Structure 1
Amino acid sequence: MLQHERKMTVTRKIPPHVFFFVSAVFHYLGPSFAVLLFSYASVLGVAWLRIASAAIVFAVWRRPWRIFPQMPWAKQRTLLALGIVLGLMNVCFYLAIARLPLGTVGAIEFLGPIALAALGARTRRNIVALLLAIGGVWLLTDVRFSGQPLGFLFAFANCALFILYVMLGHQIAQDGDAAGIDRLGAAMLIALILITPLGLGGALAALTNPLFVLAGIGVGICSSVIPYVCDQLAMARLSQATFALLLSLLPASATVIGVVVLRQIPSVLEIAGILLVVSGIALHREAEAQPRKQGTKPQLRKRRNVAKDQ
């Protein structure tokens, strides 16, 4: 117990932005290697390998099934929702990157969080920021829309699911670092149950080759274990709006990793679109906290009279 508390104390000393930076790097590093597995397993099979390997790691590391029966129904419902979102989000993401460049999918995915951040502070500045981001995504979609419309459908579905992931992730992170990670592990097991009928058949060919199995495990650790754990460590100490703002790193990291690992060189219009998205989030500002009102004038007058009588 003391050792566990000591580990949590160490993580508390690390700035939450560091966890977010690590998450941003691994968020697309794992999927970039997953693209290389598409020749040996179906897209849904690769998605299953990612979720299954991550679920196994969480099962061995955290044994998350212990906490589920002890939780009230409201929190169990949140975990079930997060598990479904994780499963569908991974499926849509892989179906998208099988048809579109990683940088394009990353920028579309980021449109959801910037809209979520914009809802936190409705100002003219933030409206302009949101319009810049929308313009950037429009450039990206316009570049390749005629070639892969289905890919954009999956990319935007992944974007919507990513919003739900941020919202539900913050809910399970409210009780602290360790509790959030345990609940994340439980949600990953739920995601595995959901996706197994869809992806296990497409992964059977890869399961016969130990090298591909190791690659699948690597994808799961890089794509789901490291970034999702880092997200929980960051979400436990950052507001939902601030976390959404920091997601500006995602389209940039997706493009860089796409170039380095997959040799996907972006066009001038794609670069312009990504820059517009990043510029939009850089322009965005979080709303300042409003001072709490002490009460209406009649209420204040009544309080003064009571104080005088006393």
Structure 2
Amino acid sequence: MTKPSPPPARAFALAPTRGPVFGRALCAMVTPFTGSGGLDLDGAQLLADRLVSAGCDGLVLSGTTGESPTTSDTEKADLVRAVREAVGERASIVAGVGTFDTRHTLELASDAEKAGADGVLVVGPYYSLPPQDALEAYFRDVADACGLPVMLYDIPGRTGVRIEPDTLIRLAEHPRIVAVKDCSADFLGAHKVLARTALAYYAGCDEHNLALYAVGAAGYVSTVANVAPERMRAVLDAFDAGDTAEAARLQRGTAELVESMMASGLPGAVTAKALLGDLGLPAGPVRPPLRPAGRDTLAGLRAAHERLTA
């Protein structure tokens, strides 16, 4: 009996790629506060100008590192206006607007647009744990109502819900959903979305910057760039210049500081602000319930930073 032939392989057409719509090297900027805990707009302008002058193509405001859960709606809009004034058109501004309440998210998106943002970062609704169909409807509602391009923020470790690759692929059909900040640590899922969509993919975990860039990501949204913007960008510059060995060397060189800032048991907002303050740069305290880094932690951060930037 003749053995049946296997079915023919299904054709798989790669989607066209989209350029880095917000730039390649983006910093998830801290939100500077005064010593008494108020919003430090002068400090935000100084820090934003320094980051852009040091090579950041864009700034993501009021994200996780920007302590968005503890800043008011007014503070978020004021921050966008102040940073826009400081950097002008030298860099893109993406404003974090995602919440666990669709109505509130829509209000923040409208505020960000009026304040001068170039795009909005929309995290999945946290705490309520919506299923994928509800999650998709949430993002579509925001994109429908907002006049700005949307960057989806997939960070299941904080929200409790993954934006599944198939959901991202469907959402990519929306004309205003143009980018993803990926903190899923799912390389296979990222490859699938990169192959099937034109979404601009941004690494949201600094240890993945080069790996995702090498397979077609647009760049990164980096917390470590708050304190080492030139070093983080140098990885992408080397890769673009065709020196992949140098890009790999530079990426490996960031590992100690990335680990110290992002895997020490403290949020990146805490470690970034500790280092910025130690460097004499605007940062100020974190807002409760976060607490400042201790002396020993700061000493370790300082040592790792000095070794990277020496």
Give the strand-richer structure, 1 or 2. Answer: 2
Higher alpha-carbon Rg = 1
> Under a length normalisation based on structure 1, what TM-score does the superposition of the two structures give?
0.29
> Under a length normalisation based on structure 2, what TM-score does the superposition of the two structures give?
0.29
